[in-house]
Structure 1
Amino acid sequence: MPDLIAPTTRLHRAWLDAHAEWGPGLHEDGFGLTPADDVDSPAGFAAWVKRLTDESAQTTYRWIREGHQVLGGIALRHHLDDYALRVGHIGFGIRPSARRRGLASWALGGMLDQARQLGMDRLLLVCDANNIASATTIQRLGGVFEEVRDTELGPAQRYWITLPPPSS
């Protein structure tokens, strides 16, 4: 049974296994990884996890874990600033060997609950125009298509999800 957990140094090896499966580059959406992050060394990994923790007032990062494996990551940006206007409130990624199991929908549902608890009521989600799996996941969880925009990474689809107020 998977769970959503805060980033932790205890899963360094498991995270590196997931990272290696994606292949070279920084394309694991939902992890908050930047070119400046050194995730290979224990000290660098610890610094990266600390940075993610320090950013928790602006962004909630969660890893999708099952047993001792990291299956993916998801990030919830709390404010619609310039960055979120480009990439969306929520970004997520599932490692290739764990795809087609419903993990992205499950994790997105959990983060939508988190957004509701934070008082957010309308969220922007953006995915590559060719990423049918992400678009389907977003639509399945209530995403309403807005438009396709050209970005520095190519065309991107934009969706809005309106959240009902929290039940009392």
Structure 2
Amino acid sequence: MRLIPPTESLHRSYLDAVDEFGGAHRDGDGLWQWIDAEGAVQPYARAEMESDEGFHDFIVRRTDPDRDLLRGWVPCTFLWMEQDGEYVGSLAIRHDLNDFLAAEGGHIGYSVRPSARRRGHATDALRQALPVCRDLGLNRVLLTCDDDNLGSATVIEANGGVLTKTIPAPSNGQLVRHYWIDLSDAPG
């Protein structure tokens, strides 16, 4: 598995994976939206994403960390997990923390498509992402996961994450674990 920038070559595989999620939130994949010339949020419709032209536009926007930022949002580098020419997941590196990210989102979010889970993709993707974080000038990164998400906790801990606290998420009260990874000590 390798971590790569979003690419048009994974068009069909990406959309098939989105279907696998069945409408569930995909951490690390961002929202299907863009900001028009007047600053209004415009959603991508599935039909737009199906077309080559629409998907090309999505990829162009998705590979520019400073594009389509709403007020209070931070630049984000999106990366895709690819194995044998198939999309297996997404990972997002947020360059800074705003209040929401500091409480429950962290610097890095990721998700693996359901049919590719439990194969080590998330652990490997996070390991590959840490040098990218260093290249962005980050000295340490915050990762969060729901307290009952033992799979994600294992991924974070396998990459040097140190649990510092567990707090109720401001958005829903669900307990969220806060892990920090010191990038001077991190693998990769």
Please, which runs of 5 or more residues in structure 2 have no aligned partner? 34-42, 68-74
After TM superposition, give the deviation of residue 45 of structure 1 in Å: 2.8
> What secondary structure does 2:169 align onto?
strand
Task: State how 1:1-168 maps to structure 2 within 5 Å.
Answer: 2-25=1-24, 27-34=25-32, 36-39=43-46, 40-42=49-51, 43-55=53-65, 58-85=75-102, 86-145=104-163, 146-153=165-172, 154-164=174-184
- TM-score norm. by structure 1 comes to 0.86
Question: Is the 8 Å Cα contact of residues 93 and 108 (structure 2) preserved in structure 1?
Answer: yes
Please, which runs of 5 or more residues in structure 1 have no aligned partner? none
Deviation above 6 Å: which 4+ runs of structure 1?
none
Name the count of aligned residue pairs. Answer: 164
Summarize deviations over 1:140-163 as a string: whole Å, max 9, x none: 111111223223243322111111
Larger radius of gyration: 2
Aligned-partner residue type, residue 61 of structure 1: F
- In 1, Cα distance between equivalents of 2:32 and 2:168: 23
- TM-score norm. by structure 2 comes to 0.78
**Distance change in 2, residues 1:107/1:158 (3 Å):** same
Summarize deviations over 1:19-64 as a string: whole Å, max 9, x none: 1111124x11111124623353324433322221222682211100
Q: Judge which range, 38-47 or 95-104, deviates more.
A: 38-47
The percent identity for this pair of structures is 40
- In 1, Cα distance between equivalents of 2:170 and 2:58: 27
Summarize deviations over 1:72-125 as a string: whole Å, max 9, x none: 010111112334313100000011111111111110011111111222111111
- In 1, Cα distance between equivalents of 2:118 and 2:10: 23
* Structural RMSD (CA): 2.1
After TM superposition, give the deviation of residue 135 of structure 1 in Å: 0.9
> What secondary structure does 1:54 align onto?
coil
